[in-house]
Structure 1
């Protein structure tokens, strides 16, 4: 299976599959599998893409 996190670019909207309470987040950066996301309800979080596959959000 292709690494879906590798397709994430700054500005894209995502959700965390294990933390729906964080709400929708906007990708700030994606460097070396470390994805920085600014979530509406949680703030800025750095996610290790080796352990979590973020879900793209196309309809907000």
Structure 2
């Protein structure tokens, strides 16, 4: 799934790599791999044709 971080748009589009409990690892275009707690940050899902 492709996502954006609501508070860090400069990171670009991210691809979810793994989900373990509340921990989501996302590989962002401009920030690399970032671990995000889904209970604190609601990532914005992108439609398949959205960029």
User: By the TM > 0.5 criterion, same fold?
Assistant: yes
The answer to which structure has the higher strand fraction is 2
The answer to which structure has the higher helix fraction is 1
Task: Tell me which stretches of 4 or more aligned residues in structure 1 moved more than 6 Å.
Answer: none
2:3 equivalent to 1:14: yes
RMSD: 0.5
Q: Which residue pairs with 1:26 in the alignment?
A: 15
How many correspondences in the alignment?
49
Tell me, in whole angstroms, the C-alpha distance in 1 between the residues paired with 2:32 and 2:7. Answer: 16
Q: Which residue pairs with 1:44 in the alignment?
A: 33
TM-score with structure 2 setting the length: 0.92
